[in-house]
Amino acid sequence: MKKVFLMLVGYSLSGKNTLTSKIVKKFPKSFFVLSTRSIHDYLNTNEIFQDDYSVEGESYKLREECSDAIGNSLLTVLGKHNLSVISNSCNQVQKERKERIDTIKNLIPDLQTVILFVNPKEEVLLKRIKKEDDALREQSRKPVWEELYKKQITRMEVPTKEEADVFIEYNCENDTEVLESLGKIIN
């Protein structure tokens, strides 16, 4: 099996976690999943990070920086152990994506890099955002997903085919095609 670095790029709630689960199920024990959302959830258990969880909250920037630092450190260790990785995070800016790819490529030179752009129809994404914010309101919590999306759309640099060895676009309807493409890369 070839060593692969698979970077899922897309807005929050675009379907990266769902696709990651499908990939892991299709290719068991093939990847270490590096999930920014899991890192955020872990950080949020510490009271330093417990604010209103908004993109304006006092802990937002600290949580973002710590998540990046943890992710980059894990990537370095995983690369040293020659492991295939799924980086499941927004990776909104091309420079940040390049840094992650360069980090692991320097450790595993023959590594196959893949950017998988998770790009659902906007109305599908907006429906998910509304559903998640409504759930927060029902819990008497501040809705944050629409606010986060607005911040992300001002920052997002759509990935290009030149950024990795392979570029795949996932529209949340082409699961079979995406999994078949990954199978050809991995095997």
Domain residue spans of the chain: 4-186
pLDDT tier at 96, thresholds 50, 70, 90: confident
Percentage of the residues of the chain whose pLDDT score is greater than 90 = 58
Question: For 134, phi and psi rounded to 5 degrees?
Answer: -60, -40
CATH number for 4-186 (one of 3.40.47.10, 3.40.50.300, 3.40.50.2300, 3.40.50.150): it is 3.40.50.300
Among the ranges given (9-18, 43-52, 64-73, 78-87), the one the predictor scored with the smallest mean pLDDT: 43-52
d(CA 117, CA 38): 20
Read off φ and ψ for residue 168, nearest 5 degrees.
-130, 135
Q: How would you classify residue 82: left for phi > 0, otherwise alpha for psi between -120 and 50, otherwise beta?
A: left
Mean pLDDT estimate for the chain: 90
How far, in Å, CA of 152 to CA of 146, rounded?
10
How many whole angstroms separate alpha carbon 147 and alpha carbon 11?
A: 12
Query: Above 70 in pLDDT, residue 171?
Result: yes
Residue 88 — very low, low, confident or very high, per pLDDT cuts 50/70/90? Answer: confident
**Does residue 166 contact residue 113 with C-beta atoms inside 8 Å?**
yes
Sign of torsion over alpha carbons 107, 67, 139, 11: negative
Whole-number pLDDT of residue 48:
85
Residue with tokens 């295939």: 84
Tell me if the pTM is above 0.75: yes
